Chains A and B, each alone.
Chain A
Amino acid sequence: MNVNQSTHYDDKITRYFVTATVIWAGVAFLLGLFAALQIAFWPANTGLEWFTFGRIRPLHTNAAIFAFAGNTIFAGIYYSTQRLLRTRLFSDILSRIHFWGWQLIIVSAAITLPLGITQGKEYAELEWPVDIAITLIWVVFAVNFFGTLWRRREKHMYVAIWFYIATIITVAVLHIVNSLAIPFSMMKSYPIWSGIQDALVQWWYGHNAVAFFLTTPFLGLMYYFVPKAANRPVYSYRLSIIHFWALVFIYIWAGPHHLLYTALPEWAQTLGMVFSVMLWAPSWGGMINGLLTLKGSWHLLKKDPILKFFVAALTFYGMSTFEGPLLSIKSVSALGHYTDWIVGHVHSGALGWNGFMAFGMIYFLLPKLWKTDLYSEKLATQHFWLGLSGVSIYYVSMVVAGITQGLMWRAIDPTGKLVYPEFIDTVTKIMPLYWIRFMGGLLYFAGFILMIYNIVKTLQKAPAHIEDSAIANLTNENVKDNEPRRLEGFATVFSVLALIAILVGSVIEIYPTLNITKYVEPNQAINPYTALEIEGRDLYIREGCYLCHSQQIRPMPAEALRYGPPSTVAESMYDRPFQWGSKRTGPDLARVGKKYPNYWHYKHMIDPRQIQPASIMPSYTWLAQKNVDFMQIRKKVSVMGFLGVPYSADEKANADVLAQKQAQEIADDLKAQGVEAKNLEKKEIIALIAYLQSLGQKGVSK
């Protein structure tokens, strides 16, 4: 359809992004169901390396965050920005590059993650070529957005635009800093950060990915779409301004609450906790502002499924942002961290807040973008109730599972012994809850299927040729406003202020840890990993072991009894990436080295049920079949040396030879125990055993 581009909005690009949102939502939900089933029923790991939990779980989180939520925010931002600024997007070509580039990135994630090509950092798993692609496409998005701001007809920037600006700026900073790495092959790299630096940078990124990818853009959408759906202005515009600035300033500091009771310096943990608690105020201010927008129109909620989704989304936002700071209090974190409580918390936000906001927005946009009526409001209402039931069941089951397991881990009897010394006892206890979680997910997915049906039937009624919406009030008087407000009228000034806001917290938190040796106890020293152990470590990362096993013993009596002395800064100072983990579906491994013989590890990898009949760990049979690429180990050691790990010239030059020698020793030991396998010394499982046996064994006293 030929239309005058200067007088019409680009609705086509919004239709593209809405379509992609729906498709990727289905993928993300199915992967989530698959992963949930794998935990409840270990044979669902299939025995195929590409489909084990350790590779499916990052695919699920990436699909949910960057594919589903990502396309949602691009759809909503492109739709609302054009209308709030009364102009077409800056460039149709950039819009298309943005759309197809982003989908290509998602497809590359869908290929690389099952192949085990991962950086091993949660929500930042994608390797360096994809990271570069993300950066380029984000720049395209930024140019297109700021170009639209530059040629807008409406001088004043509505608060939703503020949230979009903060999102674009902050995500760029987070992604670039956390992804800094030195490649050692076409698809693999080591981060420049190590140990506590990497932990701090990763969770500064990880937490703020939640803040600036799953919160601020969705709040921008909320400030636009909730008033639109209710046909009422936002309850308090002043409150929305305070909401924005307080959130942008405070959120960036809160990352270290993911690292409470770890080896991270106490001051950083305290900062993270204090700022997390402070987040209560702006978060609830925003929630109340959104809900009270319906003041006087609550009766609409009875019939309108869109408002049902929005109100439930805001309620989940309130719940999540209450629970988040609660979990950031050290004494609460001591119980909840590493348990399924955190999984429940995350999903109340992702399914309840992001999911329901997305569904409400899609139902709102469908008739407008395809110029037809929604096929069935009744189906949309049924979708809502199924979704609400599903997320509620999911959340409650995981919170109960988390608290139950957390209490079992810490239970000590009057004689000073662990009540549940066998970790597996704390797993089997909560297995029924994993099934209930799966059922909750199924209900949520059933609601989504209803939406798909509703969308298909709606689109069948849409006209063959859909005309873009025309821009009204092309001669907006605000353009001639000679005295625009600084914050509301000057995009550059505003953007710089937002950048300063997020940089202050970032620099103050990260800068002191750049000198990692300052935090290492003077009487401690660490030997770096051997060449074979580095290879084994990369296999540990490839298989996603960190998703179920932590490597960080907290300074608590129960942890000391179960795992040994607390982890130190020194112990992970050469870890690139750090592998402290955030969930214990299995036990902590920080001091597993030399705890069991090599043969135990071999048998455990091939079939965990032979060692522990009730184990839910997948079998890793392929590790005993695939060979190690010894020549690449030399490159790996060389890059590690370049990054400051103290390897001698001999260790770097002969890394492959030294690795083969150590592999032969382990293979000989296994053969002596009765393992019969051809070329055993070349197999990946040998390298992984070498790494596991090194954990907690690298410290030397000066």
Chain B
Amino acid sequence: MMKEGFANFSDTNLIVFGFLLFMAVFVGSLVWTYFIQDKQFYNKLSHMPLADGEINGK
């Protein structure tokens, strides 16, 4: 079905561009998140809602 869909898609350049961009960003975000960023930094970020700073809050 995918093959048929692409066969009927008249603009090949758009398909390739879209596919590459999609894959690049997806793979890039995986690499960035799991291999480049350090765990401590994310640990700090994950605690932000718990330390959001109200003095006289209920």
B-contact bits for A128-167, CB 8 A (1 contact / 0 none)? 0000000000000000000000000010101110000000
Query: Which B13-58 residues have C-beta < 8 A from chain A?
Result: 14-15, 17-18, 21-22, 25-26, 29-30, 32-34, 37, 41-50, 52-58
Q: How many A residues have CB within 8 A of the partner chain? A: 54
Q: Is A242 touching B33 in the complex (CB atoms < 8 A)?
A: yes
**Would you give the shortest CB distance from B53 to chain A, in whole angstroms?**
3
Residues of chain B lying within 8 A (CB to CB) of residue A461: none
Q: How far is the CA of A120 from the CA of B41 in the complex (A)?
A: 49
Which residues from chain A contact B57 at a C-beta distance below 8 Å?
368, 469
A158/B49 in contact, CB under 8 A: yes
- The complex places the Cα of A487 from the Cα of B2 at a distance, in Å, of 34
Q: Does A479 contact B (CB under 8 A)?
A: no
- Does A271 lie within 8 Å of B25, measured CB to CB? no
For B34, the chain A residues whose CB sits under 8 A away are 238
Task: State the CA gap A80–B49 with chains docked (Å).
Answer: 8
Cβ contact within 8 Å between B53 and A472: yes
| Number of inter-chain CB pairs below 8 Å | 115
Given the complex of chains A and B, what is the CA–CA distance between A528 and B38 in angstroms? 63
Q: Is the interface of A mostly helix, strand, loop or mixed?
A: helix
B4 to chain A: which residues have CB within 8 Å? Answer: 266, 270
Chain A residues within 8 Å of B2, by CB = 270, 274
Residue A9 lies at the interface, judged by CB distance under 8 Å to chain B? yes
How many angstroms between the C-alpha atoms of A227 and B48 in the bound complex?
A: 10
Q: Is the CB of B49 within 8 A of A228?
A: yes
Other-chain residue from A86, A228, A271, A508 in contact with B53 (beta carbon distance below 8 A): A86
**Least Cβ distance of B3 to chain A in Å?**
9
Report A359-385 CB contacts with B as 1/0, cut-off 8 Å.
000000001100110000000000000
By a CB distance below 8 angstroms, the chain A residues around B45 are 156, 158-159, 237, 488
- Which residues on B sit within 8 Å (CB–CB) of A330? 1
Residues of A within 8 A of B55 (CB): 469-472
A185 within 8 A of B: no
Q: Write out the residue numbers on chain B whose beta carbons fall within 8 Å of the beta carbon of A160.
A: 49
- For B30, give the chain A residue with the smallest CB separation: A242
Assuming the contacts A368-B57, A469-B57, A504-B18, asked whether A249 and B26 have C-beta atoms less than 8 A apart, the reply is yes
Identity of the chain B residue whose Cβ is nearest the Cβ of A501 in the assembled complex: B25
Chain B nearest CB from A497 CB (Å) reads 8
* In contact, B10 and A512 (Cβ under 8 angstroms): yes
CA distance A84 to B54 in the complex (A): 11
Q: Which residues of A contact B1 (CB under 8 A)?
A: 270, 273, 330
Report the minimal beta-carbon distance from A496 to chain B, rounded to whole angstroms. Answer: 13
Check A9–B11 contact: CB distance below 8 A.
no
| Chain B residues in 8 Å Cβ range of A274 | 2, 5
Q: Which of B11, B33, B41 contacts A512 (CB 8 A)?
A: B11
Q: In the complex, are the beta carbons of B54 and A470 less than 8 A apart? A: yes
Closest 10 CB pairs of A and B: A270-B5, A472-B53, A83-B52, A470-B55, A233-B46, A237-B46, A237-B42, A267-B9, A267-B5, A158-B48
Question: A-contacting residues of B (Cβ < 8 Å)?
Answer: 1-2, 4-6, 8-11, 14-15, 17-18, 21-22, 25-26, 29-30, 32-34, 37, 41-50, 52-58
10 contacts between A and B (CB under 8 A): A83-B53, A227-B50, A233-B43, A237-B42, A238-B42, A245-B29, A246-B29, A368-B57, A487-B32, A512-B11
